[in-house]
Amino acid sequence: MKLISGAAKLAGVTGWPVAHSRSPRIHGTWIERYGIDGAYVPLAIQPQDFIPAVQGLAKAGFRGVNVTLPHKETAFALCDEVEEFARRVGAVNMLTFQDGRIVGRNYDGFGYVANLRAHGVVPGAGPALILGAGGAARAIAAALQDEGAEVTLTNRTRERAEELARLVPGARVLDWERRAEALGDYALLVNTTALGMAGEGPLEMNLDGAAPGLAVSDIVYAPLETALLANARARGLTPVEGLGMLLHQAVPAFETWFGVRPEVDDELYRIVAA
């Protein structure tokens, strides 16, 4: 059993529910690996209690918290300061308590791009086609644009893709029915929908028209290899699983709160995947 002192650095993840979160396993592994006097804990907070609970955590000496559903909109409004990327994508997933102020950040885009690089994929190598029009799509689209990629959005409901495109200047919109026939025009395919996740419906995506160098990315990580990724692998394309995005987006948060830049490696993958 790991012992901590009265000077321990404290952080956590808050949601309702929060028992499913893998963040405690990620940060807990790093805390043990680097011998840090600290703890990262799950914090199940009901929506009506979120604001006073977070304010109490700040007063109690916590360094900060990650934020998951259903608290993201409330967390954004609670911040005294929101960093530029989080403001662009309209969401925060990390709160840091600094000198009596609450600072909001979003590292989804950072984690996504870092995971591409870890798989040998250059994020700005060519145009990207993003499936879905939710918050993850917005963050990934913005991050890819920052890397120099042209972004096209497609969604089962075209109106939602058009709405997202207005929030991501320069993004194009493609009809959902044309996603397979247009695939040869892209260097990167990104699934940001829940389709293919355990308990959800399948993602119907024909890869016959894919260019030989296409990278196929899925942010779903349960299962670790979705049908989309298995299909890509069978065709000799480059599959990029979703768990790495979760691991890499935790890196800057851990460094901010615990003072060590952690490493994402095979051991961490095994521990979190388990």
Catalytic annotation, residues? 72
Strands 81-82 and 38-44: unpaired
Peptide bond into 17 cis (omega under 30): yes
Of 170, 175, 181, which Cα lies nearest the Cα of 142?
Answer: 170
Peptide bond into 42 cis (omega under 30): no
**Partners of 137 in the β-ladder:** none
| Token pair recorded at residue 16 | 């309702």
- For 230, half-sphere exposure in the C-beta direction (CA atoms, 13 angstrom radius) is 9
The Cα angle at residue 63 between residues 53 and 86, in degrees rounded to 5: 85
Question: Distance (Å, rounded) from C-alpha 116 to C-alpha 215?
Answer: 9
What is the identity of the amino acid at 162? E
Torsional class of 90: left (φ above 0), alpha (ψ -120 to 50), beta (otherwise)? left
CB 112 within 8 A of CB 219: yes
Judge contact between 65 and 42, C-beta under 8 A. no
Paired residues of 96 in beta bridges: 64, 103
